[in-house]
Amino acid sequence: MSETPKLSVVIPARNALRWLPGAIASLGGRMDIEILVVDDGSTDGTAGYLRGIARSDQRIRPLVSAGEGPAAARNTGIAEARAPLVAFLDADDRWRRGKIAAQLELHRLHPDLAFSFTDHRRFGEDGAALAGGLARCATFAARHAMRREGFVLDRDAQAQIYAEPVVATSTVMARTDLLRAVGGFNEQLSRAEDWDLWLHLAACGPVGCLPQPLADRLVRVLDPDGQETMLRRAARRRVAEAYAAPARLLDEDAPRACRSSQLALDADGAAMAGKRVQAALLRLSALASHPRRETAHAVAWDLLRGRQPALAQRGA
What is the DSSP code (8-state) at residue 165? Answer: -
pLDDT at residue 301, rounded to an integer: 44
Residue 117, Cβ neighbours under 10 Å: how many?
A: 26
Report yes or no on 243 lying in a domain: yes
- Indicate the number of domains in the chain: 1
Report yes or no on 99 lying in a domain: no
What is the DSSP code (8-state) at residue 96? Answer: P
Report yes or no on 189 lying in a domain: no
Report yes or no on 64 lying in a domain: no
Report yes or no on 140 lying in a domain: no
* Domain span holding position 251: 222-316
Query: Phi/psi of residue 58, each to 5°?
Result: -70, -10
- Tell me if 77 sits within 8 A of 12, measured CB to CB: yes
Report yes or no on 48 lying in a domain: no
- Tell me if 214 sits within 8 A of 119, measured CB to CB: yes
Report yes or no on 92 lying in a domain: no
CA–CA separation, 64 and 67 (whole Å): 9
Residue 68, Cβ neighbours under 10 Å: how many?
A: 15
* CA separation, residue 308 to residues 113, 212, 305 (Å): 49, 36, 5
Amino acid residing at 250: L
- What are the pLDDT tens digits along the chain (316 aa)? 558 999 999 999 999 999 999 999 999 999 999 999 999 999 999 999 999 999 999 999 999 998 789 999 999 999 999 999 999 999 999 999 999 999 999 999 999 999 999 999 999 888 888 877 899 899 999 999 999 999 999 999 999 999 999 999 999 999 999 999 999 999 999 899 999 999 999 999 999 999 999 999 999 888 888 999 899 999 999 999 999 999 999 999 999 999 998 998 888 888 888 888 887 887 787 767 665 555 444 444 444 555 444 333 333 3
Report yes or no on 280 lying in a domain: yes
* CA separation, residue 309 to residues 41, 104, 275 (Å): 43, 49, 12
pLDDT at residue 238, rounded to an integer: 96
